[in-house]
Structure 1
Amino acid sequence: MNLVQIERTSTIEQLLENVLEKTENKNSNIYKQIDNILQSKSTKYIPATILLEAYKLSDKENYLHEILAGSDLFVPA
């Protein structure tokens, strides 16, 4: 379940775009989820689980706390 969500920022979008470019399996679940998020410009918050999976697949040029800097977290009550 995706309880924690993170505000979409340009840094996060860039991370997601880089992961999409480097992902070989275009049919994987994470690829489809990231692609859907990037195509939907109205999505303000991204599930933290997707962002963490994307970070694991990334080349880790930046630390996770650097990517999340300035982002708001949304945790439903």
Structure 2
Amino acid sequence: MNFILIAMILALLIPIYEAWQDDDIWQKMLAFASIATKTSIMMLIVSVSRDDWFIGVVAIIILSVGNAGLMLLAHLIKRLNEI
């Protein structure tokens, strides 16, 4: 189980590096959406392994609502650039 979490943390470093390296706002938003998704999946794995469903509920909320807020922000920035 520890190997899976270490592999997921290493996979989490890829979008963090991409967001740090690139200055394009759209690439940064995509990287942050990827980070949020991977973090919530890691939380789900930890909650199942610990048999703690409260952490799982928080992970599901982050997974479903977190990316929707990020996409709304991307749409608002796109509209502001069109004006």
- Do the structures match in fold with TM over 0.5? no
Q: TM-score, normalised by structure 1?
A: 0.35
Q: Which has the larger radius of gyration?
A: 2
**Structure with the higher fraction of residues in strand conformation:** 1
Q: TM-score, normalised by structure 2?
A: 0.33
Greater relative contact order: 1 or 2 (C-alpha under 8 angstroms, separation 6 or more)? 1
**Structure with the higher fraction of residues in helix conformation:** 2
